[in-house]
Amino acid sequence: MSSHGTSDSGANAPVTPTQFGPYYLQELINSGGMADIWLATNQKGEHFALRRLRDTSFFNFTARKRFVRGCEILSQIHNHDCVIGYVEHGKIAGSLYLLMEYVEASNLKQLFARDDPVLAENIGDILIDMAVGLEHVHDSGFMHLDVKPENVLVSRNARVRLVDFDLAQPKPEKPRKSSDNPGTPAYMAPEQLLRQPFDHRVDIFAYGVSAYEVLTGKKPFVGDTPDEILRKQLDRSLDFIPPRELNPDIPAALEKCILKCLERDPDKRYPYMSVLVRDLRAALYV
């Protein structure tokens, strides 16, 4: 997993490592939602990222179920350069945990916020690798359902890892409704916000939102509520700005890829990530 490179990441860390089963929790890397991520070592001194569901989530059965499902899905799809490496998952002293590879990295949102040269110098490769990672997830039979810059780790040498599969679900043969509708509204496709049947093409939409945001510094559809975001997705005349108007350095062919990802009608989007990957490579001469 990642070291997020923030100066206060060690503030909450214990002075002496805390033992957790066969592992030693050395430093708190990140806290988010229901879980904490620790830099952990084993008896051999090997480094891992250990994600542990907080005890406060004990009676949050939805969180527990998602955590375990995310672990199980990652265990099936991790064998890919653009997906975080899986080691094991289970329960120690009643706490659910996931052990992953440790990568010195920051997420895309952090890189962007601090104007990191890694992003500026490698943006084309990063966008392609994100798409290649998602292509692998889909080819493995799953949808990520939480594609956003926070869930894309980028190492110092610009290697990409997709993370956080808690919301992932099996990819349906044809669009289907979901009983729960998880996700982050700013990155959700119109059919999700409308609670209509959906399929893997919602990930393609979320990829388009993420690429737009990373390239322009703004989200394409801004709103304080899911309804407001949906209204702007459905009526592009409100205040949608094509990405090249915000950043003229974006190649026209890349803008075309992003706009196709952002089509409100899923049938007008890319049908598969593989087609998007092909067009991105052509647009970026990679």
> Which of the following is catalytic: 36, 115, 116, 146?
146
Cα dihedral across residues 227, 67, 80, 108: positive or negative? positive
125 is catalytic: no
d(CA 211, CA 133): 14
- Cβ-contact 164, 151 below 8 angstroms: yes
2-3 and 103-107 as β-strands: parallel, antiparallel, unpaired? parallel
Cα dihedral across residues 165, 169, 173, 175: positive or negative? negative
List residues with catalytic annotation: 146
